[in-house]
Amino acid sequence: MGTDSRAAGALLARARTLHLQTGNLLNWGRLRKKCPSTHSEELRDCIQKTLNEWSSQISPDLVREFPDVLECTVSHAVEKINPDEREEMKVSAKLFIVGSNSSSSTRNAVDMACSVLGVAQLDSVIIASPPIEDGVNLSLEHLQPYWEELENLVQSKKIVAIGTSDLDKTQLEQLYQWAQVKPNSNQVNLASCCVMPPDLTAFAKQFDIQLLTHNDPKELLSEASFQEALQESIPDIQAHEWVPLWLLRYSVIVKSRGIIKSKGYILQAKKRGS
């Protein structure tokens, strides 16, 4: 992989933005690890395999261009939704803000997901709680800029419904009272509470908010874990220069049968200072 890695390293040295998308993981075949034990392990494996596959297919033309934005993907796994089948599919996404304090990350992520999947809108987007400093409790002020952008996307018909993750009753109530577009769902991590908190259940029932469960870790992707994956895949780069801004995980489900037709990850990273 030496030559591939050097070409990839040269491109990353000149680029300012990296868009990484796995394509449909169900199309990966030999690339897919059989049974990743955790979501974090699956994600790290996906990042490395995507980088390795992309590195092996770099064209001489791309090296000559030295683009500012690198599109890193597993080309054979890319799969757009057939427009004739769109009504039969539910397209859902969960957005994780990683290293960005800009609400525009929300729009960038949704626009890119629509483009990747070949659809005009997503049926549902859940936003994970944005990163906050240790010892600081999540407040409405932390959520507001991202929620406002999600509301704009609902109003412009890029998203049908929006939801939250890991909000307790007080946090969900504050968001509900403030928001113009109300959350239609809230994910609860049962690993941390075993049963649905009764006050949250009562509030959700009163205001018709669907309570869902999830088992994502508190930090699915950290700056350090992304840089480690980048460094291992492409050794001759300055991985510490790259900061992941956001990660979006999507799934496409056949409504009538509940079968997953497609799932994958999209992420954006930027070089520090760019």
Structure tokens belonging to residue 201: 């259940």
pLDDT-derived band at 51 (thresholds 50, 70, 90) equals: very high
Please answer whether residues 267 and 17 qualify as being in contact, where contact means their C-beta atoms are separated by less than 8 angstroms.
no
- 112-121 residue pLDDT tens: 999 999 999 9
Q: What is the mean pLDDT of residues 24-30?
A: 83
Amino acid at site 25: L
Token pair, residue 153, equals: 């996307």
CB 194 within 8 A of CB 215: no
Instruction: Give the pTM.
Output: 0.94
What pLDDT is stored for residue 1 in this prediction? 42
- As a whole number of angstroms, the distance between CA 263 and CA 252 comes to 6
Q: Which two tokens stand for residue 250?
A: 């999507």
To 5 degrees, how large is the angle CA 29–CA 60–CA 230? 55
pLDDT value of position 133: 82
Q: Record the tokens describing residue 1, joined without a space.
A: 């992989």
Whole-number pLDDT of residue 35? 66
E strands in the chain: 17-21, 69-73, 89-97, 122-127, 159-165, 185-189, 210-214, 242-254, 259-271
pLDDT at residue 2 greater than cutoff 80: no
Task: Give the mean pLDDT of 142-155.
Answer: 96
Residue 131: predicted pLDDT: 85
pLDDT computed for residue 34 by the predictor? 62
Q: What is the pLDDT of residues 118-143, one digit of tens each?
A: 999 999 999 998 888 888 889 999 99
Length of the chain (residues): 274
CA dihedral for 220, 223, 224, 229, sign (positive or negative): positive
Euclidean distance between CA atoms 147 and 163, whole angstroms:
9
Contacts of 30 (CB under 8 A, 6+ apart): none
